Structures are given as C-alpha cells and as structure tokens.
Amino acid sequence: MKNKIEISDLKVYYGEKPALNGISFDVHENEILGIIGPAQSGKTTLLKVINRTLEFTQDISVQGSVMLDGVDIYSIGDVYALRKQIGMVLPLPVGLPLSIYDNVAFAPRTSGLRDKVELDEIVERCLTQAALWDEVKDRLDSLGTKLSGGQQQRLTIARALSHQPEILCLDEFSIAVDPITTMRIEDVLKDLKNEMTILLVTNLVQQAKRLANRTAFMLNGDLIEIDETDVIFSDNPGQESTYDYVNGNFG
C-alpha cells in the first residue's frame, strides 16, 4: 500500500518540555488512521505538526521529518498551498460569522475562484459530503453560527473539504456533538476515505474501533504501538499498556 505520509524521528518541544519523543510511522493512502491515547499524549501536537500550525506558536521546536508524497512539508514555502492539501477539523466547531454558503465558499474564493456556477457546485458538493445539504439547502443565506452544534461541526467539515484536501485531520470532532450526529459524521468519514487519507484523533476508543483501518496508541509523547485496528483491540496487542488502555484500565 502506498504511503501518503512518512514521519521519521519526530520530536517536538514546548520550550524545554517534550511533547513528542522521536516517533516514526507511516500513514497509508486512503486509510483512516485512528490515533488514541490519554490526555497529554501528543495526539493534537502531532496533527498540528502535520498541518503546520505549530510554527505560529512561540517557543516551539520541531525536529525530524514529515514527508508528504516524498516531499518534506517544512520545505514547502507556501503554507497556504500546504493547507489546501491538509484540512483540519478542530474539537469545537468554529463557524465563521458568515452565511452557510459563504462559510463553504470562503476558501475557494480566497484561492481566486469567482465563477458563481463553480462556487454553487462546490458548496452543494461539500455540504452533501458533510451530510448537511438536505438540512440547509433552503437557507444558505442564514448565518452559519445560528446552526445547532452538530450542524456547525458538519459545516466545519464541509469548509475543510471545500479546497479538496488530500488529507483530512480530525481532532476530537465529536467532543461537542450528540451521539446521533456523531454516527452521521462517522458514516461520512467512511465514504470520504475513498477520496482522501484521514487522521482521526479520538478519546473514544470505540470510535477508532468502528472507523479506523489501523490504530496508533500514543502515551506521554511516545508511539507505543501502531497496527491493524483488529490487532490493537484484540486480547493480544503488541504491548500490555495498549491492552490496558483500550480496555479502560487507565486513561
């Protein structure tokens, strides 16, 4: 299977405090990779390195390499171009103070797209992919911030999809979403993996079990284990701490 991302000896420090301790692994093309572990394991830091948002934080040191299709992402001078390839969905929905339509059209317009027909197609496609189109198609001019929490989270996903990323990073997307909406988004992600690679950080271990092709278990900045999800959730994963975590013995 082709590798989409190759991470080698990745170390991250917040000042002198280590957040990632030299982790190495590959992410396969068109897979959902679940990333699990207790708080302060380095999961969110990992996504921020891949999306290159850490560099705007003071006193951060990143060492090692992250290769995207064989290219070191930190050698890419145009960060905006990289962000078009790597979408990010944060734990809490962050709706722009714009209409539903303009939330989704924002990134394409920023890239210079002005054709109304093309923008309409993008908005409908992304809202459909995010399982939101049928609920909002008759009120696209309404403020996105007036939607329910679950709808705003799906709007955030639609916005992330609007520039057709090759990789979608999701950081605890269901933390503020009701269980029914969570299941709807999970169904969306199962379809989306046919078009892109998905990195799913979640504290809900059963969510990783349901969705992920492979699962990585992180603890205190270390990558403890990465394997097929069936192995991670079996009675005999590679590490005892993996078994203890997925079975709720700590965390």
**Cα–Cα distance between 59 and 151 in angstroms, integer?**
36
What does the pLDDT read at residue 163?
Answer: 87
What does the pLDDT read at residue 173?
Answer: 87
Cα dihedral sign, 227-90-53-38: negative
Tokens of 250: 């700590």
Q: For residue 106, which of 123, 125, 85, 83 has the smallest C-alpha distance?
A: 123
What does the pLDDT read at residue 93?
Answer: 72
What does the pLDDT read at residue 59?
Answer: 87
What does the pLDDT read at residue 77?
Answer: 86
What does the pLDDT read at residue 166?
Answer: 95
Q: Which domains does the chain have, with CATH numbers?
A: 30-53+84-246 (3.40.50.300)
Average pLDDT by consecutive 10-residue portion of the chain (251 residues)?
Answer: 96 94 98 97 96 82 95 89 88 82 93 93 94 95 91 91 94 85 89 94 95 98 98 96 94 74
What does the pLDDT read at residue 73?
Answer: 94
**Cα–Cα distance between 93 and 248 in angstroms, integer?**
28
What does the pLDDT read at residue 245?
Answer: 97
